[in-house]
Amino acid sequence: MPQSLQITAAAPDPALLDLPWHVPLEEWPESHLAALPRGISRHVVRFVKLSGRVIAVKEIGESVAYREYALLRDLNRLDVPSVEPVGVITGRTSPDGEQLNSVLITKHLKFSLPYRALFSRYLAPDMATRLIDALAVLLVRLHLTGFYWGDVSLSNTLFRRDAGEFAAYLVDAETGDLHDTLTKGQREYDLEIARVNIIGELMDLAAGDLLVDDVDTVAVGEMIVQRYEELWNELTGAEEFGAAERWRVADRIQRLNELGYDVGELQMTTDVDGTTVQIQPKVVDAGHHHRRLMRLTGLDAGENQARRLLNDMDTYQAATDQQGEDEEFVAHEWLSEVFEPTVRAVPRDLRGKLEPAEVYHEVLEHRWFMAQNAGHDIPLADALASYVENVLRHRPDEEAILGLDTATLAAIEPD
């Protein structure tokens, strides 16, 4: 092991020293690699097994590696959806003295997939628009935080299932920059980069027969602008109303809550004679449903998953005639009597298919369809048994998918 090797990490794992840093990353032996689907990257990236977990290792210049490491740490502290940085390794040299690129190490985001892997497995007509929606939400969150991305694209994003939708996570921050606030010009430039990149990526998918035939790649790509502006205006726009319509303040806050945001600060002004009131959210924090579910149950779920679980908890409260009970008590009972028995009933060999909150959501969906077909309610246990045998058992694992290329991923997807 070369003496010049330098490891910078918040909590360094001694097992890092056992990896072959003296070998170019693209030549690392298969024994060190984890077979996971990789997205498109301008750099060499490999998924590596380390101490029972998986890390992503990217070869990159030293200064860029340190800068991206610092940016990712900042984004994690700000609770922005992004991959978690592990460290930077510099001073790599081959046995014959050749200087090798530094590497940036991040944690692999479990249950996440790059967009090409998703399209290789699911040719759903609305797949593209659902990913665009998720990316628009991520971009708004980044901009609210003051982060200018500089290279917005599907390729620089990972996607996780979130109660039938997708949640997007930033995976490449090397072109980004963090400010106190962004100007309108910075936001619009980021949005234009997103539009151009997405259209190109969708055209590439279409050329590879990974899109359904009737998808208008330009129209879908331009949808990022519409989705972004709609959400940005709802979160930040000013609203005027008469002084007698004060209920609209609570209504605005409720709309933001339903979108998954808490209002940390609201600016309210009146005109000279007090007949008109203007309100404008000044501080909005994403994760309203996630935080509420975490507070009530301790479950760590995506925002849409949390919303779905909270709705099921409300249904349970009504069905058990506990509307007057304290919600913490009801939440504890729902967790121990409904949620946990359901996810524990999934066979051990199938638990890598989806994360528990997504499994529970899909069981509820499956139960609804069964009830529609049968014309009557279906017990949760019966719906779970049917879901496990007819749906979950035939899914590829999303925690760890064997096979690196999209052709392999497409081949393992059942009809």
Q: Class of 112-235 per CATH?
A: mainly alpha
The yes-or-no answer to whether 6-107 and 112-235 have a common fold is no
Half-sphere exposure of 157 (CA within 13 A, CB side): 30
Confidence class for position 85, pLDDT limits 50, 70, 90: very high
Please state the pTM of the whole predicted model. 0.82
SS3 (DSSP) at 54: strand
Average pLDDT across the chain, whole number: 87
pLDDT tens column, 21-50: 999 999 999 888 877 656 566 788 998 988
- Residue 344: which pLDDT band, with cuts at 50, 70 and 90? very high
Each domain of the chain, given as residue ranges in start order, spans 6-107, 112-235, 239-286, 302-394
d(CA 119, CA 115): 6
pLDDT of residue 413: 38
Residue 411 has pLDDT above 50, yes or no: no
pLDDT, tens digit, 9 for 90 and up, residues 173-231: 999 999 999 999 999 999 999 999 999 999 988 888 877 767 788 998 899 999 999 99
Q: Which tokens sit at 266?
A: 């609201």
Instruction: Quote helix, strand, coil % in the chain, to nearest 5.
Output: 45, 20, 35
Digit-coded pLDDT (tens) for 256-307 = 888 888 888 888 888 777 778 888 887 788 889 999 999 999 999 999 999 9
**What average pLDDT does the segment 301-314 reach?**
92
Query: What is the rounded CA–CA span in Å between residue 42 and residue 55?
Result: 18
CATH number of 6-107: 3.30.200
pLDDT value for 409: 36
